[in-house]
Amino acid sequence: MLGAMQDWPMRVTHVVDHAAREAGTREIVTRWADGSETRTDWAGIRRDALKLAQALQALGLEKGDKVASLAMNHSRHLVSWFGVAGMGGVLHTVNPRLFEDQLEYIVNHAEDRVLLYDAAFQPIVDMMRDRWPGVEHYICYDPPEGSDVRGFESWIGEQDGAFEWVGGDERDPCMICYTSGTTGNPKGVQYEHRSTVMHALAGLQPAAFNFSSSSVMLPVVPMFHAASWGLPYAGGMAGIKFVFSAINDPAVLHELMLREGVTDSAGVPTVWLAHFQYCDSEGLDLPPLKAATIGGSAAPRFMIERLMKNGTRVQHAWGMTETSPIGTVGGPSGNWDELSFEEKVDKTAKQGRAIFGVELRTVDLDDPTKVLPRDGETSGALQIRGPWVVKRYFKAEEDAVTEDGWFDTGDVGILHPDGTLQLTDRTKDVIKSGGEWISSVELENAAMGHPAVAEAACVGMYHPKWDERPVLFVIRKPGADCDAQGITAFLADKVAKWWLPDAVEFVEDIPHTATGKISKKDLRERHADYALPEAR
């Protein structure tokens, strides 16, 4: 027998309805690529989303159809998040940094019928048009003056907005994101209305984004990557002010943060690093943010320290496209006030604790049936389950989870007795030396603390006696001077002696994936002929 409460399918349109009703005049500011600025508010976002839903229907789109966006962060992209879902469609946020073959594959695989894009990506559209036979309509968010492409504002402007959201089951899909695909073709993860709403609600916890209605958020994490960490939805629920920038120039971001009273921001470590470098070169203080969310890659210790010294709470988050993406977030722990500054930094350098809704466990790397203790020491393959974790990739024939419902993340980590996750590596990158595991990520992070190191990447190379030994590839900071011995000496008191790299190689460049992470696969390929002295 059911209980007797009201039906309220968890659909994402509730988010924009709520925001427009309860925080209708809260501003949404956009700084466009051409330097111009527009201001709307949550009521305006909803109004335009209704018109977009109508305009899509007028093109003949139906429930379940896919609409792609190839766009940076701005208010019209936000409108599309709600308008596409509101007409029952599925928004496919395409990462413009993907390689041509991947772009071809994902748009065709998703069966996108309409593509909404930024003028900055016109060259991609021109290059791909013939390879995307299923895309029937191209609409430009910000057409340059005088161009003959169809512009978003004038297109939705033909509608009167008298539209009712298309309803349906809360398990209907509303968004699809493809993983960046370090091996094989990218895989599609289809988020549902329900999973999205639950994920966003969970993101509002004080232990996660900690938004209040006075929060002003400038998300640097792109809206095309892992649903921008769910921020547009969580922000709508809390009725916060958003400040978007369609370009990621630190000078622009800095100026916007100060002028618009930004309290919160979120981005991958490289974004924060670029901001530090900008402030240092201009002799400026860091912006007075209340909270900085850092995720996507491990937040280095020096970054956390600097932000915390600036009075900014650091929310170090772990997640992946497959997990909507938030899995864990680091915030003040139970005994926070008793910790020294150093201890607080140490704790924040770990990846935080699971937010309500997801469960984590680690299993033995060689025997996945063996669940490992949460003892703060034993590292293993990290698995996760919960309502916003992928069950099956889009169009896949088999589930992506174990029989008992756990998704294997491909990450390696340690769980601590207080629930804190400490990520140590990717399963494919962890280095096995003499039967013991070495964390390539820990070595990289430690090396990144060296004043002369701009970037470091560590991979295991074949060794005749130990199987694999770590080799560290380093890019020197411009004008900085350091040698291999100096780096090894620097690492000596930071990692176990037997972890110290067998070689440190200085390089001009380290390959990255389309989402800005170090691509170990490409690094290994690039140095396929590399041999350690012992193996030569």
User: How far apart are the C-alpha atoms of 314 and 326, rounded to whole Å?
Assistant: 15
User: Does the annotation mark 51 as catalytic?
Assistant: no
- What's the start-to-end Cα distance of the chain, in Å? 72
At 120 the three-state DSSP class reads: helix
**Which amino acid, residue 511?**
P
For residue 40, state whether it binds ligand AMP (rule: CB under 6 A). no
Within 426-455, the residues that bind ligand AMP by CB under 6 A are 426
For residue 320, state whether it binds ligand AMP (rule: CB under 6 A). yes
For residue 245, state whether it binds ligand AMP (rule: CB under 6 A). no
| Binding window for ligand AMP (CB under 6 A); candidates: 296-304, 306-314, 400-408, 521-529 | 296-304
Q: Which is closer to ligand AMP, CB of 264 or CB of 502?
A: 264
Alpha helix ranges (H) inside 7-61: 13-22, 42-58
Q: Which residues contact 250 (CB under 8 A, 6 or more apart)?
A: 274, 275, 277, 278, 279
Measure the CA dihedral 59/81/357/21, to 10°.
-110
CB of 26 to ligand AMP, least distance (A): 28
Tokens of 330: 């680091």
| Binding window for ligand AMP (CB under 6 A); candidates: 96-104, 154-162, 403-411, 518-526 | 403-411
Which x/- pattern over 189-228 shows residues binding ligand AMP (rule: CB under 6 A)?
A: -------------------------------------x--
Q: Which is closer to ligand AMP, CB of 321 or CB of 333?
A: 321
The catalytic residue among 40, 179, 182, 348 is: 179
User: How far apart are the C-alpha atoms of 87 and 61, rounded to whole Å?
Assistant: 9
User: Does the annotation mark 322 as catalytic?
Assistant: yes
Q: Is residue 198 within 8 Å of residue 388, measured between CB atoms?
A: yes
Q: Which is closer to ligand AMP, CB of 210 or CB of 321?
A: 321
The catalytic residue among 255, 437, 517, 521 is: 437
Q: How many CB atoms lie within 10 A of CB 48?
A: 25
DSSP letters for 229-292:
GGHHHHHHHHT-EEEEESS--HHHHHHHHHHTT--EEEE-HHHHHHHHHHHHHHT-PPP--SEE
User: How far apart are the C-alpha atoms of 461 and 528, rounded to whole Å?
Assistant: 9
Q: Could you say which of 297, 312, 379, 433 contacts ligand AMP (CB under 6 A)?
A: 297
For residue 179, state whether it binds ligand AMP (rule: CB under 6 A). yes
Q: Find where tokens 């002369």 sit.
A: 452
For residue 351, state whether it binds ligand AMP (rule: CB under 6 A). yes
Within 361-380, the residues that bind ligand AMP by CB under 6 A are none
Closest to 192 measured CA to CA, from 93, 85, 115, 108: 85
Residue 87 CA, chain-centre distance (Å), reads 26
For residue 420, state whether it binds ligand AMP (rule: CB under 6 A). no
CB of 180 to ligand AMP, least distance (A): 5
CB of 325 to ligand AMP, least distance (A): 6
| Binding window for ligand AMP (CB under 6 A); candidates: 71-79, 303-311, 316-324, 364-372 | 316-324
User: How far apart are the C-alpha atoms of 298 and 406, rounded to whole Å?
Assistant: 23
Q: Could you say which of 89, 143, 325, 501 contacts ligand AMP (CB under 6 A)?
A: 325
Q: Could you say which of 75, 293, 362, 409 contacts ligand AMP (CB under 6 A)?
A: 409
At 187 the three-state DSSP class reads: coil
For residue 501, state whether it binds ligand AMP (rule: CB under 6 A). no
Q: Find where tokens 């709403």 sit.
A: 197
Q: Could you say which of 287, 296, 331, 460 contacts ligand AMP (CB under 6 A)?
A: 296
User: How far apart are the C-alpha atoms of 371 and 393, rounded to whole Å?
Assistant: 25
Q: Which is closer to ligand AMP, CB of 287 or CB of 296?
A: 296
Q: Could you say which of 264, 411, 455, 502 contacts ligand AMP (CB under 6 A)?
A: 411
CB of 512 to ligand AMP, least distance (A): 12
Q: Which residues contact 93 (CB under 8 A, 6 or more apart)?
A: 68, 69, 71, 175, 176, 177, 223, 224, 225, 227
Q: Which is closer to ligand AMP, CB of 49 or CB of 189?
A: 189
Distances in Å between the Cα of 236 and the Cα atoms of 15, 28, 199 are 6, 11, 13
For residue 298, state whether it binds ligand AMP (rule: CB under 6 A). yes
CB of 303 to ligand AMP, least distance (A): 12
| Binding window for ligand AMP (CB under 6 A); candidates: 93-101, 145-153, 315-323, 470-478 | 315-323
User: Does the annotation mark 132 as catalytic?
Assistant: no
The catalytic residue among 290, 391, 432, 494 is: 432
User: Does the annotation mark 179 as catalytic?
Assistant: yes
Q: Which is closer to ligand AMP, CB of 387 or CB of 410?
A: 410
Q: Which secondary structure element, helix H or strand E, spans residue 363, and what is its range?
A: strand 359-363
Q: Which residues contact 382 (CB under 8 A, 6 or more apart)?
A: 360, 361, 362, 408, 409, 411, 412, 413, 421, 423
| Binding window for ligand AMP (CB under 6 A); candidates: 80-88, 190-198, 242-250, 314-322 | 314-322
For residue 237, state whether it binds ligand AMP (rule: CB under 6 A). no
Chain contacts with ligand AMP (rule: CB under 6 A): 179-180, 226, 295-298, 316-321, 325, 351, 409-411, 423, 426, 515
Just list the catalytic residues.
179, 322, 432, 437
